[in-house]
């Protein structure tokens, strides 16, 4: 069996040796290993992929027993087990299209059991990819009820994480608290410089020379969660707002897809207010 073990704990002497010994104790062979110690928070993180003749439960017990004295946060899963993602969208399709395209190519190791939207614009697109679509309109008066339905779907479908693929609604503190470190958002990287409507037009008026996008985890602090992935592109004085928007869409879809893939492969660790990411 091919497994991935993700470990996070306070940095302590002997932790690397203990992890290696625990893998060997279950007849394991380490295929890939990455580790990092964050000196600011004294946090140790490690991602280990290994093969073992034991089944999943036995391997979990072997590692838990071998690492117990370090009180780690330890997650182990089969490498071929694909995390299940709930996608939230509104009406912009570029990020959603890219995720579904990569999924069909076999280049994105996730499952998408459902797409939920507060608009019906993308219904035919989603269903053309044979993915269920659920329309959940939302107003200030119905927001709590709408989120209650979404959380019920997350439980029913055994969703592992949520992706906001240009979902133009602010999630409540209660919803964010229900899935800490498991909601990914994408937005342009002008924030906090150009807030509100038409950020690319604002940037054009100010003569911005670099545009970009940021994928981050969602917290109750709007657009301030730990950053996962970013990218930029240079523009010059000749670029129109419309051209900047088009470049921005391209960056957004690429950055979000990379962030989703990193999460799906257990390569992201949240340490304090930032992330440690193994390539």
Residues annotated as catalytic are 223
Contact, 76 vs 24, CB < 8 A? Answer: no
24-58 burial by CB neighbour count: b if 16+ within 10 A, else e? ebbebeeeebeeebbeeeebbbbbbbbebebeeee
Q: How many CB atoms lie within 10 A of CB 90?
A: 17
84 vs 62: CA distance, rounded Å: 27
Of 154, 108, 50, the residue nearest 265 (C-alpha): 108
Q: How far is CA 153 from the centre of its chain?
A: 18
146 vs 3: CA distance, rounded Å: 37
């Amino acid at each position: 069996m091919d497994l991935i073990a993700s470990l996070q704990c306070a940095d302590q002497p002997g932790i690397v040796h203990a992890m290696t010994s625990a893998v060997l104790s279950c007849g394991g062979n380490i295929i890939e290993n990455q580790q990092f110690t964050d000196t600011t928070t004294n946090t140790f993180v490690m991602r280990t992929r290994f093969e073992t003749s034991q089944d999943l439960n036995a391997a979990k017990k072997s590692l838990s027993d071998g690492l117990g004295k370090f009180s780690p946060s330890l997650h182990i899963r089969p490498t071929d087990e694909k995390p299940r993602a709930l996608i939230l969208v509104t009406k912009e399709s570029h990020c959603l299209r890219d995720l579904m395209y990569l999924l069909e190519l076999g280049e994105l190791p996730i499952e998408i059991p459902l797409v939920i939207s507060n608009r019906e614009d993308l219904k035919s697109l989603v269903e053309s990819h044979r993915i269920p679509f659920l329309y959940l309109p939302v107003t200030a008066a119905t927001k709590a009820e709408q989120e209650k339905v979404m959380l019920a779907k997350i439980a029913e479908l055994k969703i592992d994480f949520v992706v906001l693929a240009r979902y133009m609604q602010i999630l409540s503190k209660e919803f964010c608290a229900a899935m800490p470190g498991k909601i990914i958002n994408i937005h342009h990287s002008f924030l906090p410089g150009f807030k509100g409507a038409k950020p690319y037009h604002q940037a054009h008026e100010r003569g911005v020379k670099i545009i970009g996008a940021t994928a981050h985890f969602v917290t109750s602090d709007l657009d301030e969660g730990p950053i996962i992935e970013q990218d930029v592109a240079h523009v010059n004085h000749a670029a129109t707002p419309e051209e900047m928007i088009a470049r921005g869409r391209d960056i957004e879809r690429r950055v979000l897809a990379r962030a989703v893939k990193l999460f799906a492969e257990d390569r992201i660790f949240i340490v304090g207010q930032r992330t440690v990411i193994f390539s």
